[in-house]
């Protein structure tokens, strides 16, 4: 298990610029499946790195500030 996957542990890697989909879903308090639907609909900016999907932390923080 990677450090960012341990339950109850704060998300540590915000400084790297991108969140994994699991981190982003947890941050937004939604399921990974719902996040995937939002990405496909173009509501969430995401980048693919191989098979991994990454969401910009700045976008997540902006969503938190705007209350959406």
pLDDT digits (tens, 9 = 90+) for 12-65: 555 568 999 999 999 999 999 999 999 999 999 999 989 999 999 999 999 888
Q: Residue 4: is its pLDDT beyond 70?
A: no
* Domain span including residue 33: 17-66
pLDDT of amino acid 11: 53
Q: Residue 6: is its pLDDT beyond 90?
A: no
pLDDT of amino acid 35: 97
- Does residue 3 form part of some domain? no
Query: Is residue 13 within 8 Å of 4, Cβ to Cβ?
Result: yes
pLDDT of amino acid 38: 97
Helix (H) or strand (E) holding 35, with range, is: helix 32-40
- Phi, psi (rounded to 5 degrees) for 49: -120, 95
Contacts of 3 by beta carbon, 8 Å cutoff, 6+ apart: 9, 12
Q: What is the CATH number of the domain that holds 41?
A: 1.10.10.10
- Does residue 4 form part of some domain? no
């Amino acid at each position: 298990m990677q450090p960012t996957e341990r339950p109850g542990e704060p998300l540590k890697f915000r400084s790297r610029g991108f969140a994994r989909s699991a981190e982003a879903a947890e941050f937004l308090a939604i399921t990974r499946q719902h996040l995937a639907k939002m990405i496909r609909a173009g509501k969430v900016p995401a980048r693919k790195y191989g098979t991994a999907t990454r969401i910009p932390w700045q976008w997540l923080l902006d969503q938190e500030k705007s209350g959406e």
